[in-house]
A and B are shown apart, each in its own frame.
Chain A
Amino acid sequence: MKGFWHDAVEFFPILMSGVVLTIVVTIGSLLLSTVLGLVWAMMRVSGIKVLSVLSASLINVIRGIPIIVLLFYLYFVMPDLGVTLSALQAAILGLGIAYSAYQAENFRAGIEAIDKGQIEAAQSIGMGWWLTMRRVVLPQAVRIVLPPYGNVMIMMLKDSSQASTITVAELALQGKLIASSTFKNTNVFTMVALMYLTMSIPLILLVRHFEKRAGKK
């Protein structure tokens, strides 16, 4: 830990550029996984056999492939198929798809936790499927879904480091690059760890807030 503060000041700007990319990857894949997860979940509960089977199989395929393999596939294999993605695009797409499976299961659990009587009440005043979802089911499901959603946010923040495997120069990769050129492994990786922790803490507090609110009902 010799000269930690000296190194900290020196490496901070480079690591910050990594932090920016980490945040971009996390937010990008969070949005994508939320939208995709919502689509899978809606297909799953639509009551239309083809859609629910399709969604269930998709979720299983996605869940059964490691994130890192998904990233390699998007970044190294897709160009052979004529689709070239930048490393950042591939990272956001890969993490977004990978996490959409977990999001979908979370959303589905939330939707299915809503009392059947709520849906019948909505139908009895003439609401169709979509209006029932939008006005009755989803607003109530959000409360149930938020705490696990917050946990997914924390996991995504940390898993964004996997983007380093396809050359996205986010925090973990920046750390590794500095460490391998300066041999100051201890100082650099301590900094990297602290920076991830610093970003996680607000999210952890957010989850706690969600849990309290859901508990209050």
Chain B
Amino acid sequence: MIDLKDVHKSFGENEVLKGITASVQKGEVVCVVGPSGSGKSTILRCINGLESYDRGEISVEELKVDRDAPSIVKVRTQVSMVFQRFNLFPHRTVLENVIEGPLYVKKEPRAAALERGRMLLAQVGLAEKADAHPPQLSGGQQQRVAIARALAMQPKAILFDEPTSALDPELVGDVLGVMRKLADDGMTMVVVTHEMGFARDVADRVLFIDGGVIVEQGPAKALLNQPQHPRTQDFLRRVLHPL
């Protein structure tokens, strides 16, 4: 349902994506791993139009992603995003954060939005925090609210941009748990992450990106246990055995 064909993207002189071709099927969980600066996050940001791309084509359910076209709103309501730094709206309560999109973008009736909002908060284990403001929550709780906010749009896929990188280590598990449940429920997910355990256990497929190209890709277990390319091998050795 998400297709990238020969996508190129430069920031000034610096070409960060050098021809990315990949696709994500419905219900698939794809993890994108690679060293920092390799262009992983940029791929996600291009998919929902937070960044433009210079060449190639990205489409979501046959709809071309073009951040300057009105159709981008449709893409964004179908593909939600969860950010590294949560980006919750601090001036609104947790529940208001969750129903903001349904209410003001999708123009759903308030009662229905509220009901589903509460249900989603229960689903991520934060029903009792509905009336708190985001700054009062821990990082892990904020990220779970952000996931509920993404789900509230009833998206066909969710993009996760290093969702646990800004969290204290003991809070990572709660967030990954929620994500695993989503994967089990059949949500289509693209996850940029450094959590190799999550990638191995939950992902269907892993893409290894380095220097703006896909160096290697394949089924998660095979790629992470027996990487073929020397760069993949080197990267995984550094991540898994930093000492």
Q: Which 9 A-B pairs have the closest CB atoms?
A: A125-B101, A121-B87, A117-B87, A124-B81, A126-B105, A126-B76, A126-B77, A126-B73, A139-B91
Which of A120, A121, A126, A128 meets B88, CB within 8 Å? A121
State whether A125 touches B91 (Cβ < 8 A). Answer: no
State whether B105 touches A125 (Cβ < 8 A). Answer: yes
State whether B80 touches A127 (Cβ < 8 A). Answer: no
Which of B49, B104, B149 meets A135, CB within 8 Å? B104
State whether B76 touches A128 (Cβ < 8 A). Answer: no
State whether B104 touches A127 (Cβ < 8 A). Answer: yes
* Minimum CB–CB distance for A122 against chain B, Å: 8
Smallest CB-CB separation from B75: which chain A residue? A126
A17 is an interface residue with CB less than 8 A from chain B: no
B90 is an interface residue with CB less than 8 A from chain A: yes
State whether B87 touches A131 (Cβ < 8 A). Answer: no
B180 is an interface residue with CB less than 8 A from chain A: no
**Per-residue 0/1 for B68-101: is the Cβ within 8 Å of any A Cβ (1 yes, 0 no)?**
0000011011001101010111110000000011
* Minimum CB–CB distance for B155 against chain A, Å: 9
B48 is an interface residue with CB less than 8 A from chain A: yes
**Assembly CA distance A123 to B72 (angstroms):** 10
Smallest CB-CB separation from A143: which chain B residue? B91
**Per-residue 0/1 for B127-164: is the Cβ within 8 Å of any A Cβ (1 yes, 0 no)?**
00000000100000000000001100100000000000
A86 is an interface residue with CB less than 8 A from chain B: no
State whether A124 touches B91 (Cβ < 8 A). Answer: no
**Assembly CA distance A127 to B50 (angstroms):** 12
State whether B105 touches A118 (Cβ < 8 A). Answer: no
State whether B153 touches A125 (Cβ < 8 A). Answer: yes
A52 is an interface residue with CB less than 8 A from chain B: no
Give 11 A-B contacts (CB < 8 Å), ordered by A residue.
A117-B87, A118-B87, A120-B50, A121-B88, A123-B49, A125-B150, A126-B76, A126-B105, A128-B73, A135-B104, A140-B90
- Residue numbers in A under 8 Å from B150 (CB-CB): 125
A35 is an interface residue with CB less than 8 A from chain B: no
